[in-house]
Amino acid sequence: MIELETTRQQQPVAPASWGWTYLMCPPDRYDVVYSINPWMNTAIPVDRNRACEQWDALAAALEAAGAEVRTVEPRAGVPDMVFTANAGLVLGDAFVPATMRHPERQGERPYFESWFREHGYRIDPLPLDAVQEGAGDALPFGGRLVAGYRTRSSLDAYPELARREGVRTVAVELRDPRYYHVDLAFCPLGEGEAMIAPSALTDAGRALLMELVAEPLLLDAEETESFCANSVLVGRTVIMPACPPRLRHELEQRGYEPVVVDVSEFLKAGGGCRCLTLALDVVLRDA
């Protein structure tokens, strides 16, 4: 059994250096028309008007916390383009486009490449056989990338990514197909702190994160299933799809301000707050 930590008062740590500029895609074309993860059910309709209201509320919460939100135009035929976290990785001036495992999402790539090229980024693709699904499976922490693999990204993508971009990676294995990207199991907070969902990770993956994170905040099964790890940090504000009382208390004890935004329409596709955003200000080269 995994023992969750007890509450303690502590001095707030330094906030993360990144997470102040995000790319989002309006949900004008969003829908659930196929199923590529256990959350997707084409028999459950998406309320597009409500999805737009929820997306607007998320963007407003990010801006209220001090972040800048930029947007990319949604396109027909790629309804999951709204989940910009999977577009690729932004590392300084480089954009590494995702190589999606499922054909249903592969059509997003040229639209994102075009946006980043037009905004002055260097496009640096991985080999096509190196499956890697963007920032959904690779999050900055402690001067390196915490990288998920097994369900949607391949382990062999990360040595090549590290070589090309001059970054260090810590690859952690995901064990539960419900938590198919690392951003459903791991959420960076301030320096040395992160939320971790132990039940989503293999024993080895969990051990790696527990060694890496000095002050872990462990999520229980209910918090994990509520997508609490799929949250976005802006300064000391944690923008979350849900925050049960225990977790709220733990975050507040650490000096964070949880802000819950309803993203239930997007949870129908297996995506939460983090999935709907892509950080544009990550710099790890020469870390």
Query: What is the tens place of the pLDDT at every residue in 77-86?
Result: 999 999 999 9
Residue 138 burial (10 A CB sphere; 0-12, 13-18, 19+): buried
Q: Which of 39-53, 191-205, 251-265, 272-286 has the lowest mean pLDDT?
A: 272-286
**Region 253-259: what's the mean pLDDT?**
98
User: Domain holding 91: CATH number?
Assistant: 3.75.10.10
Mean pLDDT, rounded, of the chain: 95
Total tally of structural domains belonging to the chain: 1
Q: Are 240 and 222 in contact (CB under 8 A)?
A: no
Residue at 2 is within a domain: no
pLDDT of residue 287: 41
Q: Which residues contact 273 (CB under 8 A, 6 or more apart)?
A: 58, 227, 230, 231, 232, 239, 240, 241, 261, 263
Cα-based distances in Å from 81 to 124, 228, 284: 20, 22, 26
What is the residue whose two structure tokens read 């890496």?
A: 212
pLDDT of residue 284: 86
Residue at 12 is within a domain: no
Q: How many CB atoms lie within 10 A of CB 69?
A: 15
Q: Is residue 9 predicted with pLDDT exceeding 70?
A: no
Residue at 241 is within a domain: yes
Per-residue model confidence as pLDDT tens digits over 202-211: 999 999 999 9
Per-residue model confidence as pLDDT tens digits over 116-146: 999 999 999 999 899 999 999 999 999 999 9
Distance CA 251, CA 222 (A): 16
Q: In which band, very low, low, confident or very high, does the pLDDT at 4 lie, cut at 50, 70 and 90?
A: low
Catalytic residues: 181, 275
**Region 3-20: what's the mean pLDDT?**
66
Cα-based distances in Å from 157 to 80, 126, 161, 174, 278: 22, 8, 6, 15, 20
* Tokens, residue 43: 């028999």
pLDDT of residue 17: 85
Residue at 130 is within a domain: yes
Q: Which contacts qualify for 53-58: CB closer than 8 Å, 24 or more apart?
A: 54/261, 54/262, 54/263, 54/264, 54/265, 54/266, 55/24, 55/26, 55/27, 55/82, 55/266, 55/276, 57/261, 57/262, 58/24, 58/239, 58/261, 58/263, 58/273, 58/276, 58/277
What is the residue whose two structure tokens read 């923008």?
A: 239
**Region 91-112: what's the mean pLDDT?**
98
Residue at 128 is within a domain: yes
Q: Is residue 8 predicted with pLDDT exceeding 50?
A: no
Residue at 203 is within a domain: yes
What's the domain range around 270? 21-279
Distance CA 178, CA 188 (A): 20
Residue at 190 is within a domain: yes
Cα-based distances in Å from 146 to 41, 199, 206, 252: 29, 17, 12, 25
pLDDT of residue 203: 98
What is the residue whose two structure tokens read 């039940």?
A: 199
Distance CA 190, CA 278 (A): 18
* Tokens, residue 116: 């980043």
Q: Is 220 helix (H, G, I), strand (E, B) or coil?
A: coil
Residue at 14 is within a domain: no
* Tokens, residue 77: 């035929």
Q: In which band, very low, low, confident or very high, does the pLDDT at 37 lie, cut at 50, 70 and 90?
A: very high
Cα-based distances in Å from 124 to 92, 106, 131, 210, 217: 12, 17, 14, 32, 34
* Tokens, residue 6: 């007890």
